[in-house]
């Protein structure tokens, strides 16, 4: 994957730096300089990534009460798993991730292809698509909560549906609509950035490929399938990965749209459950255990993912 290339150069593994002086002292000094440059980033990684990682695992086997910390074995895990919301939260999270993958991942790709073909109003359309990204997430979600998803007929969506003589919905109040409604809001909010990234990669597809395909008699869909997708495959794969990791962390949508758990837990996500245990139920250790479980699930998932993508090569 050729992410970022300097102007006028091709990506290639850099040759080893010339080692003109081979004195030992010089080498030590060079290393020290190298590490000095690394220091700031390594410090931050150590403090906010590597150390918390270990600490999270340690915490998940401890319990702190009245300032005293004791080892409790697997207690936190069994407590978290016994929570009736545990499986619901996973179910909701997976459903959201899957739906968001279908809608929120495929849609921007086709929007980008469409925008790339249009010869007029280019700037205007790009700005439009990117506008929701500019809103603070809380603002965008309040817009949906108060106006679009109002369950009465005074709501924007219901008014439109009614005008079109379609059945109206109770949106966030309907257990079956809760997750689709969160996917719609989240897609609207985030579509713009994915479209821009796709647009960038579409512009790097050599025109001759389309030319050749057309000469072979390939129609528009065939050309998308045979040229566009293979040419953007790496960026598609990368965004799929990022999208899944991002949607698995579903949090602000349930918090704002559904006031947390939604109707009968229909909006509860794993991330919300972590927050609920850690900061409502005063159970940071249980929340840490749930974090570790989430980590294991994601690690398993990415192992499968890496397996699948490397096989294709």
Partner 1 sequence: MTRTLISQAQLQRGRGRFLYWTVLTVVVAGFTLVFLGPLYWMVTGALKTGQEIAQTPPTLWPHDPQLQNYADAWNNLDLAKLLFNTFYYAAGAVFFQLVFDTAAAYALSKLRPVLGNVILGLMLATLMIPAMVLIVPQYVTAIDLPFIHVNLLDSPWAIWLPLVANAFNIFLLKRFFDSIPEDLIAAAQVDGASPLRTLWSIILPMSRPILGVVSIFAVTAVWKDFLWPKLVMPSPETRTLSVGIYAFSGGTPMNVVIAASVIAAIPTVIIFLIFQRNIMSGLTTGSLKG
Partner 2 sequence: MSVPQYRKAAAFALAAGLGFSLVACSTKSSDDSGTDASGKVTITVDCQPVGAQKELLANWNADVAEFEKQNPDISIKSVSVGEQCNNPPDFTARLAGGTMTDVFYGYMTDLQQVLDSGQAADITSAVSKDTIPTWDSVDPALKEVFTDEGKLYAIPVKNYSMGLVYNKALFKKAGLDAENPPKTWAEVRSAAKKIAGLGGGVAGFSEYSAGNTGGWHFTAEIYSQGGKVLSEDGKKAAFNDAAGKQVLQNLKDMRYGDNSMGSRQLLQWGDLLTNAGAGKVGMFIGAPDATQAIVSQFQGKYEDWAMGPMPGQDGAAKGTLGGGEGYFFKKGLSEAQVKAGLKWIAYQKLTPGKGQLDYVRAKPQNYPVGLPQPLLFSNGSEAQKQELDLRKANANVDTANFKVFEDNPVAIVGEPRNAQAIYAVLDSAMSGVLTNPNANIDSLLKTAEEKVNQLQAAGS
Give the CA angle between residues 76, 81, 86 to the nearest 5°: 125
Backbone angles phi, psi at 150, to 5 degrees: -60, 120
Sign of the alpha-carbon dihedral angle for 298, 299, 300, 301: positive
Q: Which stretch binds partner 2 (CB under 8 A): 49-57, 133-141, 255-263, 297-305?
A: 255-263
**Residue 264 binding partner 2, by CB under 8 A:** yes
> Is residue 67 a contact residue for partner 2 (CB under 8 A)?
yes
Task: Report d(CA 116, CA 235) in Å as an integer.
Answer: 17
Helix (H) or strand (E) run with residue 62 in it: strand 62-65
* Alpha carbons 266 and 89: distance in angstroms, whole number: 8
Q: Is 172 one of the binding residues for partner 2 (CB under 8 A)?
A: yes
Residue 56 touching partner 2 (CB under 8 A) = no
The answer for residues whose C-beta is within 8 angstroms of residue 225's C-beta and 6 or more apart is: none
Toward partner 1, which CB reaches closer, 72 or 159? 159
To the nearest whole angstrom, how small is the minimum distance from the Cβ of residue 280 to partner 2? 6
Interface with partner 2, residue 29, by CB under 8 A: yes
**Phi/psi of residue 258, each to 5°?**
-110, 15
Shortest distance, position 162 Cβ to partner 2, whole Å: 13
Q: How many CB atoms lie within 10 A of CB 158?
A: 21
Alpha-helical runs (H) found in 118-177: 122-134, 137-143, 156-163
User: How many chain residues bind partner 2 (CB under 8 A)?
Assistant: 43
Distance of CA 187 to the CA centre of its chain: 11
The three-class DSSP label of residue 147 is helix
Selected from 28, 32, 114, 304, the binder of partner 2 by CB under 8 A is: 32
Beta carbon of residue 82, minimum distance to partner 1 (angstroms, whole number):
19
Closest separation in Å from C-beta 169 to partner 2: 11
Partner from partner 2, partner 1, none binding residue 159, C-beta < 5-8 Å depending on class: partner 1
Kindly report the length of the chain: 313
Is residue 303 classed as helix, strand or coil in its secondary structure? helix
DSSP, collapsed to helix, strand or coil, labels residue 191 as: helix
- For the bound state, the minimum distance from the C-beta of residue 102 to partner 1, rounded and expressed in Å, comes to 18
Q: Given the complex with partner 1, which of 175 and 218 has the nearer CB atom?
A: 218
Contact criterion met (CB below 8 Å) for 123 and 209: no
**Residue list 76-115, contact with partner 2 (CB under 8 A):** 79, 82-85
- Tell me the closest approach of the beta carbon of residue 23 to partner 1, in angstroms: 15
31 scored as a contact of partner 2 (CB under 8 A): no
**Closest separation between CB of residue 212 and partner 1, Å?**
11
Tokens for 244? Answer: 């899944």
Among 113, 126, 260, 305, binds partner 2 (CB under 8 A): 260
How far apart are the C-alpha atoms of 211 and 98, rounded to whole Å? 36
* Chosen residue from 195, 202, 284, 290 binding partner 2 by CB under 8 A: 284
Residues forming contacts to partner 2 in the complex (CB under 8 A) are: 29, 32-33, 36-37, 39-40, 43, 65-67, 79, 82-85, 150-152, 154, 170, 172-175, 258-265, 275-276, 278-284, 286
């Amino acid at each position: 994957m050729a992410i970022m290339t300097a102007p006028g150069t091709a990506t290639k593994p850099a040759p080893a730096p010339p080692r003109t002086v081979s004195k030992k002292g010089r080498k030590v000094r060079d290393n020290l300089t190298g590490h000095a440059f690394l220091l700031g980033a390594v410090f931050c990684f150590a403090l906010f990534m590597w150390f918390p990682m270990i600490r999270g695992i340690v915490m998940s086997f401890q319990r702190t009460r009245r300032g005293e910390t004791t080892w409790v074995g697997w207690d936190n895990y069994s407590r978290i798993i016994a929570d009736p919301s545990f499986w619901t939260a996973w179910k909701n999270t997976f459903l959201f991730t899957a739906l968001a993958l279908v809608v929120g991942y495929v849609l921007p790709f086709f929007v980008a292809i469409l925008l790339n073909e249009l010869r007029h109003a280019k700037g205007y359309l790009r700005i439009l698509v990117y506008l929701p990204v500019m809103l603070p997430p809380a603002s965008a979600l309040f817009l949906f909560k108060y106006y679009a998803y109002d369950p009465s007929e005074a709501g924007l969506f219901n008014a439109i549906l009614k005008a079109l003589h379609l059945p109206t919905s109770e949106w966030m109040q309907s257990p079956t609509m809760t997750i689709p409604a969160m996917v719609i809001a989240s897609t609207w909010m985030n579509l713009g950035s994915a479209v821009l990234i796709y647009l960038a990669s579409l512009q790097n597809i050599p025109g001759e490929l389309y030319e050749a395909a057309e000469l072979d008699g390939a129609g528009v869909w065939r050309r998308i399938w045979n040229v566009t997708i293979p040419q953007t495959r790496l960026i598609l794969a990368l965004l799929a990965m990022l999208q899944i990791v991002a949607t698995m962390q579903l949090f602000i949508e349930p918090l704002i749209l559904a006031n947390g758990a939604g109707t009968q837990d229909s909006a509860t996500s794993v991330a919300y459950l972590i927050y609920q245990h850690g900061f409502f139920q005063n159970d940071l250790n249980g929340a840490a255990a749930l974090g570790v479980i989430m980590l294991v699930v994601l690690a398993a998932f990415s192992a499968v993912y890496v397996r699948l993508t490397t096989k294709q090569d």
